[in-house]
Amino acid sequence: MGTTIVEVPAAQGGFGPFLSYLIGWAYFIAWSASFYPQAILNWRRKTVQGLSMDFVHLNVVGFLFYSIFNLAFFFSTEIQEEYKRRNNGQENLVRANDVFFAVHALILSTFTLVQTWVYKRDEGQRVSGFAWAFLLSSGVSALVLVGRALAGVGSYEWIDILYFLSYIKLVISFIKYCPQVYINWAAKSTVGWSIHNILLDFTGGVLSIGQLVLDAYISDDWSGISGDPVKFGLGFLSIAFDLVFITQHYVLYRNRTDQYAQKLSMVESETGYDERQGLLTSATGRYVNPTTGQGSASGRDLESASVSAEH
């Protein structure tokens, strides 16, 4: 695939393109900032207990596919020409901020995945069979499409493969949020799920869709929205799930008591040791102070009470 640098909207003149440029970078900042709370939380706790391994792995694969999609649409002349042939000569609406967001999200998601290898996690805290099956089937399907495109079998073009990857990303964006909605419902609490993360995500979703609609209006080509379904879908899913989380946090489950923090404080006062610096579980299920060898009967309760944020 050949490559070229696409001129950003701000350089094309006019208030509309400049406004789109500003909105694009605003949503990039909002969405990108929403990735940091979980990584910081893991670092401060020195544990990933309560964090869904499905969410972490699905997030990495999803943003890998999204990065490939945006990089190809933004840099590849071949993909740009294929898009024009299918959309009456119109330019695609992938912007520089879309590319930076996707790559940045991939980096932060991968960093969080690495944290799950470094920090303590529960023995049963692993990727589910469903998630593995979904990721494996998605990867195999993508490879089959690539093989058919390389072999010239059927009418597949590279843009078809990119659209397939974008649809997988949309599915991932849906299924990765569902467990957290259930966890909040089961616990009747949103403790451990950062509302600031949600508010930033909601802001990014609104701005992302706003930029897409504005670009379609400026170019007088509303097919641009259907031509970039992953961006519209991501924005829509973010808004939909964020509204659910906001309702849970501010309306349904207003109890802000952090049971995990309370029990952790009790353990520290009993043992004189900061459990967050190293929680070792003995064969009896008791948390053991690695310095003194003394245990706490509250350990198992700590694990069951731990609920962490997912994005």
285 dihedral zone (left: phi>0; alpha: psi -120 to 50; beta):
left
**What parts of the chain have a pLDDT lower than 50?**
1-12, 273-311
- Note whether 162 and 72 are within 8 A (CB): yes
φ, ψ for residue 304, nearest 5 deg: -70, -25
The CA angle 227-230-235, to the nearest 5 degrees, is 115
Per-residue pLDDT tens for 272-306? 544 444 333 433 344 343 334 444 444 444 444 44
The pLDDT assigned to 301 comes to 44
SS (H, E, C) the chain: CCECCCCCHHHHCCHHHHHHHHHHHHHHHHHHHCCHHHHHHHHHHCECCCCCHHHHHHHHHHHHHHHHHHHHHHHEHHHHHHHHHHCCCCCCCCCHHHHHHHHHHHHHHHHHHHHHHHCECCCCCCCCHHHHHHHHHHHHHHHHHHHHHHHCCCCCCHHHHHHHHHHHHHHHHHHCCHHHHHHHHHHCCCCCCCHHHHHHHHHHHHHHHHHHHHHHHHHCCCHHHHHCHHHHHHHHHHHHHHHHHHHHHHHHCCCCCCHHHHHHHHHHHHHCCCHHHCCEECCCCCEECCCCCCEECCHHHHHHHCCCCCC
* pLDDT value of residue 311: 45
- CA nearest to 100, candidates 58, 65, 69, 70: 70
Given a contact cutoff of 8 angstroms between Cβ atoms, the answer to whether 133 and 58 are in contact is no
pLDDT per residue as tens digits for the range 197-240: 889 889 888 887 887 788 778 776 666 566 566 667 777 877 88
Nearest to 55 by CA among 303, 234, 310: 310
pTM attached to this predicted model: 0.68
pLDDT score of 295? 45
